Structure 1
Amino acid sequence: MISTNEPPSRRFRRIRLPAGTQTSVRVRLLIYFVVGVLLYLMMMNAVLPKQYELSPGSISTETIVSPVTKVDSEATEAARKQAADAVEKQYRRDDELTGILIERLDRIFTDARRIVADTSLTEQQKIKSVRELIPYRLSDAFYTQLVRTSPDQLTEMRFVSREIARNILSSGVRQTELEQKRNEVDRELLASSINAQSRSVIRELVRASIVPNEFYDEARTKALREAAWDSVEPVPIKKGQIIVSAGEVITPDQHRKLKELGLIQDYTNPWPHLGLGLFVLLLLVMLYGFVHRYEPEVHRDNARLLMLATIVLLTAAGMRVVAVGQNLEWSTLGYLAPVAFGTMLITLLLDIHLALSCAVLFAILASVMFNTESHLLFDFRYGLVSLVIGMAGAWGLSGVHNRTSILRAGLIASLASLVPITAVFLLAPIESGWGDWFWSIGFGFASGLFSAVLTIGFLPYFETVFEILSPLRLLELSNPNHPLLRKLLIETPGTYHHSIIVGNLSEAAAEAIGANGLLARVGAYYHDIGKTKRPQFFIENQMGENPHDKISPNLSKTIILSHPKDGVEMLEEHGIPKPIRDIAAQHHGTTLLKYFYHKAMKQSDGGKVLEGDYRYPGPKAQFKEAAIVGIADCVEAAVRSLARPTPARIEGIVRKIIQDRLEDGQFNECDLTLKELDVIARSMCETLNGIFHSRIEYPDEWPNKGVKQA
């Protein structure tokens, strides 16, 4: 706690939401929206790629690597086009046409042999018949030479011609290579043993018979080129790939790659921003879902939700500060992040289950903020270590009794960090040396202690600003050396001892029904603090005559009824949290001050005395602990007035007081059940029987223990 003589109410300004906003859905959504925006801004530098002001021909001042794996669309397009262009045009050979051509050539020689062998025809008639027979336009010398060839020679020429034509046509003849194929006839004839005269006839006829029989197949060519296009794998720009080295002149191709990666300052790629926005939205939905489902009190109370949001943002801000100092030399500085600070505060101020769920949230944030490699989005090392440290810090605060317990929890978190850090190091020993392990262990160990120190420092602010009664705050308020309790002891010793007994009764009864026993006990300590303003007017502090005997019942009533209000004012001046102030204001409810009411009735001589004037101003008890303190206050005073308190008489008084308050409607505004009232009665009877147990009476003189020997 901060050492100062000023009351806490003057040191810190409490947050009180305006009327109507405590449970407003709009305010709740606004809190989540603000948290989302601030988380987005804190993670933006860690997730979104850094942009550079570069142009083709400029010199890069640093080495730039690709933050993501991305397809190089232009390079991929060029590679696929090259592969498609490499596929030659495809042709389809018409084997049916080849057969027709060879068959026609064979028939020409067969019919020509028949015409030549016909002796009834003159030479001119033979030439005319042969000319009609052959579908090609050939020279006159060809026809003359053909009819002058002997039939046996024509038979040999037929076989040679057919063989040459088959060889050439079978290999395929395209329009573009027609002349080349026809020239092959001469080479084939040179290899034959036929005479020169026959060779000229064969040459001219076969050359005429060689026509294109292979045609361009557009469909097949297109299909093969598409297959070649698809077979080329996309050309990637890989994560961590060096795009530009320091001191290198930027080429147009490098500039294009930097632009595609969104690393050029004059080019804003909207997709990473959208991705980060969706990521933050996912985190908020997870947090909202857990709070709504498992922490309904926090979900409905915007003040408590605001406190949770503040803790989350403070923890994230602490991570961001650590991330600023992270570099190549101090690459493992992220282990120093005060993650346990957030989980310990949430455990102390709200709930351990909520703290454990937030530990997962902090682990995700840590894995994003401390991704030391630019090509990584999440670094599991920091996420794992942060998760362990956060959960260990929350578990370490179970059964906390004082602020030194926070240091113990911090030490537990520090020791817990050693295991995941060592495990991560052993999983990847090649990437770092033992020196890095040593520094990692040091940072992890310091993280828990650092978180504990931050928790101790921030806890009083949260307790006061948000008026939260943590167990530690309650234990501090129960310290007898607290200024108000010291004042109560010194100025009103009777009221002090009465409050101590009421505290014991209240704590036992509250715990018996599952209420907050510590709150009930501490509230009981302060419930009658208003009596210190006029201590002599309360019977437990009177040593002699009663001042009420000399004043009117109306004035006595005014003094007695004012002590709850006076107590609330004193408690607020000293910064005592609202639940304790509420107990002081509500412990009498609107009960009737019966003694002075009846005294006023006697002194009125038949005049009218309004019962409402002698009732406490209230309000009635609004929660269980306030009702229990009110019962215990009345029970303790009543039992103390008994001359010989027996268990039966004590139980009778306790149950009568509870019954009277029940019939008077004092429990109408709190959620106490009849079963719980019965448990409260039994618990108080057990405690009172232990306090007012029977004792033996000691004689005035003790007999001699033995006879003095002579």
Structure 2
Amino acid sequence: MQTHPFLHKIRMFLSYRLFTNLMFILLGIIVFGILYGNVKPKPLDISLYEEAPSTIRAPKPLEDKEATEKKKEEAAAEVEKVYSTKEGAVNNAVMLVSSLIDSVLEVKNESPKQTSPEEEAVNPQSSNINKQLEELKKRLPEGNENIVTKVLTDDVLKTLLSASEVDLERVESIVSTQLQVIMQNNVKEEELKEAKLNLEERIKTFTFTGGLSDAAVALGNVAIEPTEFYDPEKTEQLKKQAVEGVQPVKIIYGEVIVEEGKLITPNIYETLKDFGMVEEDFSLKPIIGLALFIVVIISSLYYLFYTLEVKEERKQNYLILTSIVFVISLLIMKITGLLKQLEINDIAFLFPAAFTGMILRILLNERIAMMMVFIISACASIVFNERFSGSIDIEVAIYTLFSGVAGILTLVSRNQRTNVLRAGIYVAFVNILIIAFLVLLSDVSYTSTEYIYYLVFALISGIGSSILTIGFLPFFETGFGILSSMRLVELSSPNQPLLKKLLTEAPGTYHHSVMVANLAESACEAIGANGLLARVGCYYHDVGKSKRPHFFIENQMHIENPHDRMTPETSKTIIINHASDGADMLRKYKLPKEIIDIAEQHHGTTLLKYFYYKAKEQGKDVTEEEYRYPGPKPQTKETAIINIADSVEAAVRSKNSPTQEEIKQLVASIVKDRLNDGQFNECDISIKELEKVKKSLCETLNGIYHPRIEYPELNAKGE
């Protein structure tokens, strides 16, 4: 990949690391600027108690705080009160009644004198009943005096003191029994009044003498008490658990908040405010969110390029190219998004989502292409949100992601432009499937017109991606000097001007180049190098020989070798110059740098042994440096293999019916000579790889120079 002259000048002033960091910062700023319009809050022009100008739907899921709070209140209200049972309440009540009756009997028994009712009526102050009453009050149970004296009036106590022992025992029995019946069914605090009325009704069903009925009722009212008391702590704990168990009420995505023409009530206005639709104050949240999104994108790209195992200069060129493709994709995305003004639903399906992945797959590699597909999908979910600024569209993200991945995976062969178009058709088919999945999953009814729209959008997106890829390829290939597989295939055509020139003016060299290409391509593929680059490089590596074709032995058919009449110095100059002449011709025809490098480096700094030793034999004082190619030495594996294949093909061709063993020894000798001469010191080819190269070369040469059956000559009659 060539460096653009303008970029090269910038790099003269900046270090590679600083230049790379500035590129990432610039890319982040550009992407932020493009996406900002899609996240910037755009408040609706509505006010409280006005009619809604249009139907407003929820742009994203959000908790309905009012409904959730109401649901919590209802859950808390449904929790029944918790009561704690008072142990021994029934026994306490019965014992209280028994204690009161016992006190009455004790007072009666201790009294020295009894007076008749007639006497009491005549002289109440001096009556014994009053003394008994005073004594009885003193013996009331401790802690219950206030309650007893409040309920058991003096008249009630006098009635009890006046009753016989039998009647008192009967009162005690009836009251105790009825207390047990009522209190065993549990009496709550708020039910005490009702329980007393029930007790009164039960007691009054019995017949008493001397007004004991009212006294028995009063006695029961004193003794009866709640058996269950309200427990506020446990009740509050249950309410808290019920509230915590309430699931938040969600306003689902797309739900109608207010219909067109309906009044904007305070509740609706608050909901719109929660969504940020009527927020009047400037909010930094969308900006911070977008900034974090950009940081994630740039960080991912930084890590991707940091781990890329290529030279620093090429890595930066990759970054620049990736950034340009990224920005172009975003701009196409924004332009497609503007079509929403035509009020066509789901216009995002029209976006050529596979373009980014396909063109980067062709120009760079699959890893970078796949990463950019994920990033473009995330950006599409922001740009194509059709609901409200600040939201994302997951459906668009899924569609863009699968479409982009399909474009990369279906682009199996990158050698012809028709393959790109075929991949676009595959992408269109995947688009149709993804749209069908999204439509059927939503369970929404669509019209036949909408289905036709979706079908057309899917086809345009897929085929449009391939058309854009084919259209942009020449610009990137030329602008960045990128040697893509398609470009290599085009350069391998015999109709190329330089190949035509070589074929017509130096046919022997052309044939030699084709043979070397076969050898080099197989050897490169054996070690994982670029076989197509090696093949095309071989086609052009000796194009400089077309300048003086007859000075090279493969073109000397039925003519005298001109070198026999020339000095070694002159011959050496002509032979060595074919490498630089070829490079100059390739530059003139603006061929890629990789092809030019192969032409310059395919001989490295090897020694022209024949003319060097010829000069030595003539007694001339010469050095090896004078008879060496100027280089540079091979810088890549492909050039190193071409260096070997070029010499091997010429050496084997010079032999008459070489055997497999001769070929093997010849190949090994040439590789050893190159290693000893240090020709591979500047490229990263390993000894292990060279062994594979030797094996591949031998296999290919054995296939070319295998023994053939000699057929008998035919006579004139064909016999």
Q: TM-score, normalised by structure 1?
A: 0.75
Deviation string, structure 1 residues 583-629 (Cα, Å, up to 9, x no partner): 111111111234544455566x66x4332122111111222321333
2:639 to 626, 642, 647: 626
Deviation string, structure 1 residues 478-528 (Cα, Å, up to 9, x no partner): 223323334445665665455444434444554566543322221122223
What is the aligned residue count?
Answer: 687
1:438 to 433, 452, 466: 452
State the partner residue of 2:317: 303
Verify: 1:258 aligned to 2:272, yes or no. yes
The separation in 1 between residues aligned to 2:584 and 2:6, in whole angstroms, is 16
CA change 1:63–1:34 in 2 (3 A) is farther
The separation in 1 between residues aligned to 2:223 and 2:250, in whole angstroms, is 55
The separation in 2 between residues aligned to 1:532 and 1:163, in whole angstroms, is 133
**Alpha-carbon contact 1:650-1:688 (below 8 Å) kept:** no
Deviation string, structure 1 residues 622-656 (Cα, Å, up to 9, x no partner): 2232133333444555566x5x8332587776665
Q: TM-score, normalised by structure 2?
A: 0.74
Deviation string, structure 1 residues 218-241 (Cα, Å, up to 9, x no partner): 434434543554465544433333
State the partner residue of 2:695: 679
State the partner residue of 2:131: 128
**Alpha-carbon contact 1:262-1:268 (below 8 Å) kept:** no
The separation in 1 between residues aligned to 2:218 and 2:440, in whole angstroms, is 87
1:518 to 532, 554, 571: 532
**Alpha-carbon contact 1:488-1:532 (below 8 Å) kept:** yes
Pairing 1:383-402 to 2, within 5 Å after superposition: 386=400, 389-402=403-416
The secondary structure found in structure 2 opposite 1:240 is coil
State the partner residue of 2:657: 646
CA change 1:592–1:74 in 2 (3 A) is same
CA change 1:663–1:182 in 2 (3 A) is closer
Q: Given residue 98 of structure 1, which amino acid in structure 2 is its aligned partner?
A: A
**Alpha-carbon contact 2:663-2:698 (below 8 Å) kept:** no
The secondary structure found in structure 1 opposite 2:591 is coil
**Alpha-carbon contact 1:71-1:236 (below 8 Å) kept:** yes
The separation in 2 between residues aligned to 1:507 and 1:86, in whole angstroms, is 82
Structure 1 window deviating more from structure 2 (424-433 vs 444-453): it is: 424-433
State the partner residue of 1:574: 589
CA change 1:364–1:432 in 2 (3 A) is farther
CA change 1:463–1:17 in 2 (3 A) is farther
The secondary structure found in structure 2 opposite 1:561 is helix
How far is the alpha carbon of 1:665 from its aligned partner?
A: 2.5
1:65 to 31, 48, 57: 57
The secondary structure found in structure 1 opposite 2:257 is strand
The separation in 2 between residues aligned to 1:126 and 1:570, in whole angstroms, is 147
The separation in 2 between residues aligned to 1:669 and 1:632, in whole angstroms, is 18
Q: Given residue 539 of structure 2, which amino acid in structure 1 is its aligned partner?
A: Y
**Alpha-carbon contact 1:51-1:264 (below 8 Å) kept:** yes
The separation in 1 between residues aligned to 2:165 and 2:698, in whole angstroms, is 142
State the partner residue of 2:579: 564
CA change 1:453–1:190 in 2 (3 A) is same
The secondary structure found in structure 2 opposite 1:468 is coil
**Alpha-carbon contact 1:22-1:303 (below 8 Å) kept:** no
Q: Given residue 481 of structure 1, which amino acid in structure 2 is its aligned partner?
A: N
CA change 1:688–1:589 in 2 (3 A) is farther
CA change 1:110–1:69 in 2 (3 A) is farther
**Alpha-carbon contact 2:513-2:541 (below 8 Å) kept:** yes
- Identical pairs, percent: 35
Deviation string, structure 1 residues 18-71 (Cα, Å, up to 9, x no partner): 879999778778777777776677677778986546554565434332333333
State the partner residue of 2:496: 482
CA RMSD of aligned residues (A): 5.4
How far is the alpha carbon of 1:246 from its aligned partner?
A: 3.7
2:599 to 576, 580, 584: 584
State the partner residue of 1:3: none
- In structure 1, runs of 5+ residues without a counterpart are 1-7
State the partner residue of 1:4: none
State the partner residue of 2:682: 669
The separation in 2 between residues aligned to 1:290 and 1:401, in whole angstroms, is 26
How far is the alpha carbon of 1:181 from its aligned partner?
A: 9.0
How far is the alpha carbon of 1:259 from its aligned partner?
A: 3.1
How far is the alpha carbon of 1:261 from its aligned partner?
A: 3.1
The separation in 2 between residues aligned to 1:44 and 1:56, in whole angstroms, is 29
**Alpha-carbon contact 2:432-2:455 (below 8 Å) kept:** yes
CA change 1:97–1:256 in 2 (3 A) is farther
State the partner residue of 1:405: 419
The separation in 1 between residues aligned to 2:212 and 2:531, in whole angstroms, is 130
The separation in 1 between residues aligned to 2:677 and 2:172, in whole angstroms, is 137
2:101 to 97, 106, 110: 106
**Alpha-carbon contact 1:368-1:379 (below 8 Å) kept:** no
The separation in 2 between residues aligned to 1:509 and 1:517, in whole angstroms, is 8
How far is the alpha carbon of 1:337 from its aligned partner?
A: 2.6
CA change 1:81–1:658 in 2 (3 A) is closer
State the partner residue of 1:609: 622
The separation in 2 between residues aligned to 1:367 and 1:144, in whole angstroms, is 93
Q: Given residue 658 of structure 2, which amino acid in structure 1 is its aligned partner?
A: P
How far is the alpha carbon of 1:682 from its aligned partner?
A: 1.9
**Alpha-carbon contact 2:45-2:278 (below 8 Å) kept:** yes
